[in-house]
Amino acid sequence: MNEIQSLIKAIDFAAGKHRDQRRKDVDATPYINHPIELASLLMEHAGTSDLSVIIAAILHDTLEDTETTADEIEAHFGAEIRAIVMEVTDDKSLHWQQRRQRQIDGAAFSSYQARLVKLADKICNLRDMSDRPPATWSLQRRREYYEWAAQVVNELRGTHAGLEALFDEVYSRKP
């Protein structure tokens, strides 16, 4: 299978897994737009051509937000992509505050590939928070999200100057 086929397979897989999910904005944007945005950002702004990173970005929320298993990721996309996706996946059995703290604590110890995906995810989430905020979130909750995202990104500093500058630009639009 060539790289384009692998990428399309990942998009199709993620689209199927997220087919009934929507973002929390007032327009209920289809969820699949989010992982596609991450992959696009990594290719365009980070110059990433590492197919494993791009596919992991497409799949980054499948374990966390769908019934997908790590074994299923590996069967379809290999052990390397499974490992990256596992690194960026929160343990949903933990309270949200514990999950957030784990992201801060573990960010600096992530692989380079996972760090890129995490940076892209935080950038895209803050863009959404600015342009299409969750309909039910208060201004205070949105500001708290910005602060938490900045804590995670501060632990990722030194990974990719361009992505970090883009994060800082998006962060500067904090509500």
Question: Tokens representing 142?
Answer: 């949105």
Tokens representing 121?
A: 């995810």
| Whether domain 3-171 has CATH 1.10.3210.10 | yes
Q: Please give the share of the chain, as a percent, with pLDDT higher than 90.
A: 96
Q: How many other C-beta atoms can be found within 10 angstroms of the C-beta atom of residue 39?
A: 24
Does residue 131 surpass a pLDDT of 90?
yes
Amino acid at 169: E
- Please report which confidence band the pLDDT of residue 20 belongs to, taking 50, 70 and 90 as the band edges: very high
What pLDDT score was predicted for residue 121?
Answer: 98
- pLDDT one-digit tens code per residue, 81-96: 999 999 999 998 999 9
pTM: 0.96
| Mean pLDDT in residue range 106-125 | 97
Instruction: Name the residue ranges covered by the structural domains of the chain.
Output: 3-171
pLDDT digits (tens, 9 = 90+) for 27-38: 999 999 999 999
pLDDT at 75: 97
Two structure tokens written together for 18: 């997220």
pLDDT at 163 over 90: yes
pLDDT above 70 covers what percent of the chain?
Answer: 100
Show which residues are catalytic: 64-65
Return the percent helix, strand and coil in the chain, to nearest 5. 65, 0, 30
Q: Which residues pair with 25 in a beta bridge?
A: 134
Tell me, what's the pLDDT at 1?
Answer: 78
